[in-house]
Chain A
């Protein structure tokens, strides 16, 4: 794969903020995604375990990422994901930044996007669960266009997700 395709317009690496929800202490998923994103030409800011919503927003505003990725496996993603989405979508600086969530995001092991409608409605652009989560995520990453901060990136990304 040509990593240059993964870079944004000006040739610098695509910036990704990688996080989890406030109550989730798991980090192997974050380390795996960090390595995966780096191998795909991204510069990753990994916020580690139990990230408060305000930390995630503040770090995102500071980094101005091209993508915000939430990975969670403790079953509380359906609750706290909503808080994250509302907080991110409430910040004008983060307008148009694609926001995705994946992992095991409820206590029942639900698998279909229909189960996660509230997350999409709250502002996530994609929800990735089950065995296809990683390939689906990579497919989206490859189709993620060069992102300025003009909102076009998000629209194209949403199209790619459907």
Chain B
């Protein structure tokens, strides 16, 4: 339930709050182009798609890693970038690009991937944008070599900057990317724990409108259980915040065929609707190959919206322990320190949080997971995770390149190999 005193403006916050109340699934692309005209055309196409949509500026990866000179050089030389270099453009350039497109009916969110997001937050605020995403864990461990402690400090400051928008009457929105964590092979309880802990970190640092995420994994049934658990845990731990859940269409190795890719995004939309989630971020049929075109993004959004329209709220599947594991992880971390940021740093140092297959130096690296015969993600090693009393690690053969590739390709194969329905 949102508190009554939330600031009235805040285009993204207001649009998502309205969608949550009306039970509409909002779909959103991962779209980002280095060229302003193409970026604007992409936003207009998103707005005009046959779906309830919000817009995205996905930033290029030079900007994500803080190499603003490289991004600016690419812009100057007219070389293609894999996203929108918001820091390298003057605020007026972005304001002009958004003018007449972005507004209360069509808010825009900046998606980036930076463990040190200060300059990105400055640039988006200067450009009049009030929503972004990430987090001190989800944009640090999987995607950088930045120490967790440094990322936590940077995100603390960034949260405060964003929260200060309220002084101008704007309610800013921040989404945790914690439900992704390497995109695949991370068991759901740990995804839930990280997005909830990042959400609590945002709230503790002054943000009041947040979203929690969950990336579609290998088993529809397990995913439904997990997203149901995420809603229950958020309702319990964040009674005073405005929050919603955003689903990411599968973030791992994507099907290479168009029917396979679109079936996968349709299933993500069904997961979102069945679990009462409010927003879905799509992937396209071109994902496996290259940066998708505007038209491919629109197709993915429309396929997702059509699947959502044919789906209704489901009954929660019988629990298999995902919620209990997630709660054990969350409470063990919160018990480490009253400051959520400090608790997160300590949790990684002690291995209370430990992401399977993550190469970051601050990750303990003592956990492993596997896709079971029935397609669920299961632990094979739990390291120092405080869930030893709740789970019996599965037995598994030694990890080889072939077995890894097989696991990474599990979803791709399942969706590419299905016959196309007539």
Contacts and interface: CB of A to CB of B under 8 A. Distances in A.
Nearest to B253: A28
Interface in A68-87: 74-76, 79-80
Interface in B99-156: 113, 142-145
B61 A28 contact: no
A154 interface: no
B395 to A, nearest CB: 20
Contacts of A108: 80, 290-291
Contacts of A106: 80
B4 interface: no
Chain B contact residues: helix, strand, loop or mixed: loop
Contact of A50 (B144, B357, B401, B404): B144
Given A75-B82, A75-B290, A108-B80, A25 B359 contact: no
Nearest to B61: A23
Contacts of B184: 28
A128 interface: no
Contacts, number: 89
A6 B79 CA distance: 40
For the residues of A in contact with B, the DSSP-based class is loop
Contacts of B142: 25, 27, 49
A137 B357 CA distance: 23
Contacts of B61: 23-25, 74-76
Interface stretch (A7-15, A30-38, A88-96): A30-38
Interface size class of B (residues with CB under 8 A): 35 or more
Contact of A46 (B64, B289, B359): B359
Q: Which of the listed residues B184, B252, B289 has the most CB atoms from chain A within 10 Å of its own CB?
A: B289
Given A28-B408, A104-B290, A49 B144 contact: yes
Given A35-B404, A39-B400, A107-B290, A49 B143 contact: yes
B79 A25 contact: no
B70 interface: yes
Contacts of B62: 23, 76
A148 interface: no
B401 A39 contact: yes
Interface string A48-65: 111100000000000000
B316 interface: no
B48 interface: no
B408 A74 contact: no
A32 B404 contact: yes
B324 interface: no
A79 B70 contact: yes
B404 A31 contact: yes
A74 B401 contact: no
Contacts of A75: 61, 80, 82, 290-291
B65 interface: yes
A109 B289 contact: yes
B217 to A, nearest CB: 15
Nearest to B139: A25
A32 B405 contact: yes
Contacts of B230: none
B64 A27 contact: no
B413 interface: no
Contact of A35 (B70, B74, B290, B399): B399
A22 interface: yes
B274 interface: no
21 contacts: A23-B62, A23-B67, A25-B61, A25-B64, A25-B65, A27-B358, A30-B359, A31-B357, A31-B404, A32-B401, A32-B408, A35-B399, A50-B65, A76-B62, A76-B82, A79-B70, A80-B70, A107-B82, A107-B290, A107-B291, A109-B289
Given A24-B61, A75-B80, 4 more contacts: A46-B359, A49-B142, A79-B79, A107-B80
Interface of B: 61-62, 64-65, 67, 70, 74, 79-82, 113, 142-145, 182-184, 252-253, 289-291, 357-361, 399-401, 404-405, 408
- 7 A-B pairs with least C-beta separation: A109-B290, A25-B143, A35-B401, A23-B61, A36-B401, A48-B359, A75-B82
